[in-house]
Chain A
Amino acid sequence: MSENLPEYPKYQQEVVETETGMWSTGTGDTSGYGLITRTIEMPTGQQPPFGDWYDDAIKRVEEKVDHPFHHIVFDHGELTLYVPREKLLEVMRIMRDDYPLRFEYCLSVSGVHYPEYHGHEFHVVYHLESMTHNRRIRVETGAPADDPTIPSVTSIYPAADWHERETWDMFGIVFDGHPHLTRILMPDDWVGHPQRKDYPLGGIPIEFKGTKVPPVDQRRRYL
């Protein structure tokens, strides 16, 4: 995939998914080449130093918590700390309370589903902000599909309350210790978690006079 891309910093990448196109695979469409596969790789594992305040922040967390990070990614000027879920609460508390860090705001919690990223199928991404130091940081944690449980940070950041409920609603990630983990956007009796990759979009074909356009999730995809 990388030949067609613009200049982009190269670093070790991890395959999280392999995708095949919808060209001619099982459909009557013979207009394309059906053997294209593409591996989906996410940037992983970089080593400090990154310069600026980032190194100090990483060092500070490492001083306070034993082996806090799974790995660290510094990409496009944004620092992402991958924290094992067992360490999440410890790290988040340090993030909020320790003066050199002091990330007072947890602005957003969002889930991401990587169905082939074995052992880390469900990711939860926290965007933290420090108003004291005017900095931002991203904390990411993962849970396996057979045990999608992540400790809730609502005891540290009460603002994460609704965000975690939304992530539960959309991905089925259970936030341990959340005061009332109920659905928030979907109806209470809804079955399934819509933002999971294996949940169908549920489109219907668009009918024109004399022809039909397949629903958007069944159209051929360009890899």
Chain B
Amino acid sequence: MKPSSTDFYAEPGHEEDYPAYDVGAAGDFDAVQAAQKERDDQVLVINMGPQHPSTHGVLRLLVECDGETVLSCRPSIGFLHTGIEKNMEYRTWAQGSAFVTRMDYVAPFFNEAAYVFSVERLLDIEDKIPQRAKDIRVLFMELCRIASHLVAMATAGLELGALTVYMNGYREREVIFDFFEAVTGLRMNHEYFRPGGVANDLPENAISQLHQLIDWVEPRLKEIHDFCDDNPIFQGRTKNTAYMDQTACFALGITGPRLRATGFEWDLRKKQPYCGYETYDFDVPTRTGADAYDAYRIRMDEMVESLKIVKQATDRLERSVGEPVMIQDPQYKWPAKLVVGPDGQGNAFSHVKDIMGENMEGLIHHFKMVSSGFKVPAGQAYVPIESPKGEIGCHVVSDGGTHPYRVHMRDPGFNNLQAIPLLTEGGMIADIVVSIASLDPVLGGVDR
């Protein structure tokens, strides 16, 4: 049906005199528009994003729909590409942690862990990492998993109109962030995991703060259960929505909660343990619905399991107070001694006094380590770990120098977003946001 020329609102918009470029398969929007004009049917072409509150960042979707039925949905990414991998080739190995932590900013510790584990494998120091450092890493990764899942829950709730879930999710996450801040000095972008260990030990009151955190979060996870699990609206929106079976997961390389929602018990913490996960007691929740509702339930159950690990790690850390948190080999050990002071994180006064006043060799060593850094033997490594979104791994190539030769982060969000057409096409347009939320991509990690 041609638009009537008398109806002002049915008039086609005026032609733009500049081309609209895009960065992916979605193609040139002008060309899509022109093709649609030629086709002259009822198909509606909608450009969703990149600035859309329910696309979890700057994700652009080009949607063709017939009425409210999605005919095709083509995702387009790259709006948050910052060249982190290229930048890392010009920085030392230790500085790398500061870059990777900014990739998937909702789960920063997993980026750091993936990078740091790969560097440690190349350095052949995996066995020499102190036990306390490993326990701290596990503690932080599991707290971060809870924080990341809470964001996934909260934003998914918001997209369905459940504002309370959003507020509650972020409230609990804030408590976890307070703990991160108390230890690392920062709420996000921590740069806390370093090759060889962690940047600094827990402060004295950390254990008591951890107990408070557990006491706060544990009962409140149940609140989200109460809001959502049996809520007819929530179930109506998520059950049988964004269906993806195991075959599709295998074809598209999907890992994480979406794979476990097909009933496949695949969790790298159990299957290929790293960082001492084999010594912790926890279960891998699975469900068989393969839809958005089951992905949500799995995330909820995983938070409970993560809390179990957090409690065990807390017990271990209580027993190992005073033990080193960084490898003792001075060739790799970061020379600084960081403490969180009243004005933020910085070098301890005792360390500054030592290198500036008493110990010239210490100053030379400090200078050499900070400016030049350590060398990493030539070779390549890839250590996969289980992030809240799926498998994250860092492919690190070294040429034997003080800088990485190549770093490539395999981000689960990047891979999982390929499933968007599969999840949305043939469904309703309102279910697109549910589909995206069920994958839980973070565009910082997707675009890097």
Interface residues of A (CB under 8 A from B): 1, 4-8, 13, 16-17, 19, 38, 40-43, 75-78, 80, 104-108, 110-113, 125, 127, 129, 131, 134, 136, 138, 157-163, 166, 170, 180, 182-189, 194-195, 199, 201, 203, 216-217, 221-223
Q: Which residues of A contact B81 (CB under 8 A)?
A: 185-186
Could you tell me the distance in whole angstroms from the C-beta of B119 to the nearest C-beta in chain A?
11
29 CB-based A-B contacts, threshold 8 Å: A5-B375, A6-B331, A8-B124, A40-B401, A43-B378, A107-B393, A108-B410, A110-B410, A112-B405, A125-B380, A125-B395, A131-B266, A138-B382, A158-B251, A158-B252, A159-B251, A159-B418, A183-B24, A183-B78, A185-B78, A185-B447, A185-B448, A186-B81, A195-B86, A195-B406, A216-B87, A222-B371, A222-B402, A223-B402
Complex CA gap A102/B254 in Å reads: 17
Chain B contacts with A in 16-55, Cβ cutoff 8 A: 21-25, 28
Complex partner residue of B381 from A38, A42, A76, CB under 8 angstroms: A76
CB proximity of B11 to chain A, nearest CB, Å:
29
B254, B272, B375: the one contacting A4 at CB < 8 Å is B375
Cβ A222 vs Cβ B379 within 8 A: no
Name the distance in Å between A139's Cβ and chain B's nearest Cβ: 12
Tell me which residues across on chain A come within 8 A of B25, comparing CB atoms: 180, 182, 184
| B interface list, Cβ under 8 A from A | 21-25, 28, 77-78, 81, 83, 85-87, 90-91, 121-124, 250-255, 264, 266, 271-272, 331, 371-373, 375, 377-382, 384, 391, 393, 395, 397, 399-403, 405-406, 408, 410, 414-415, 417-418, 447-448
Q: What residues of chain B lie closer than 8 Å to A162, measured between beta carbons?
A: 414-415, 417-418
- Shortest CB-to-CB span from A93 to chain B, Å, is 15
Apart from A4-B375, A5-B377, A76-B121, 15 more pairs, CB < 8 Å: A8-B377, A42-B378, A80-B380, A105-B250, A105-B255, A108-B382, A112-B405, A127-B382, A157-B253, A158-B252, A162-B418, A163-B415, A188-B28, A216-B87, A223-B402
**Assuming the A-B contacts A127-B410, A162-B418, A188-B21, are A201 and B86 also in contact, with contact meaning beta carbons closer than 8 angstroms in the complex?**
yes
A182 — nearest CB in chain B belongs to which residue? B25
Task: Give CA–CA (A203, B272) in the complex, Å.
Answer: 40
Tell me which residues across on chain B come within 8 A of A1, comparing CB atoms.
375, 400
- Residues on A with beta carbons closer than 8 Å to the beta carbon of B23: 183-188
The 4 closest A-B pairs by CB, nearest first: A159-B253, A110-B408, A108-B410, A222-B372
Q: Which of A42, A170, A185 touches B379 (beta carbons < 8 Å)?
A: A42
Asked if residues A189 and B21 are in contact (CB atoms below 8 Å), the reply is yes
Interchain CB contact under 8 A, B253 and A41:
no
Beta-carbon nearest neighbor of A125 in chain B: B395
State the CA gap A127–B447 with chains docked (Å): 20
Number of A-B contacts (CB under 8 A): 160
Q: Are the C-beta atoms of B410 and A112 separated by less than 8 Å?
A: no
Asked whether B253 lies within 8 Å of A134 as measured between CB atoms, the reply is: no
Cα A38 to Cα B398 in complex, Å, equals 14
Assuming the contacts A183-B23, A186-B81, asked whether A223 and B91 have C-beta atoms less than 8 A apart, the reply is no
Q: Would A107 and B378 count as touching, CB distance under 8 A?
A: no
Bound-complex Cα distance A110 to B378 (A): 18
Q: How far is the CB of A166 from chain B (nearest CB, A)?
A: 8
| Alpha-carbon separation in the docked complex, A188 to B141 (Å) | 37
Whether the Cβ atoms of B401 and A194 lie closer than 8 Å is no
From known contacts A13-B378, A43-B379, A184-B23, infer whether A108 and B271 are also in contact, taking CB-CB under 8 Å. no
Query: Given the interface contacts A105-B253, A216-B90, does A41 sit within 8 Å of B395 by beta carbon?
Result: no
Contacting pair A187 B78 (CB below 8 A): yes
Contacts of B86 in A (CB 8 A): 194-195, 199, 201
A41 interface neighbour in B400, B410, B415, Cβ under 8 Å: B400
With both chains docked as a complex, state the minimum distance between the C-beta of A100 and any C-beta of chain B, in angstroms.
18
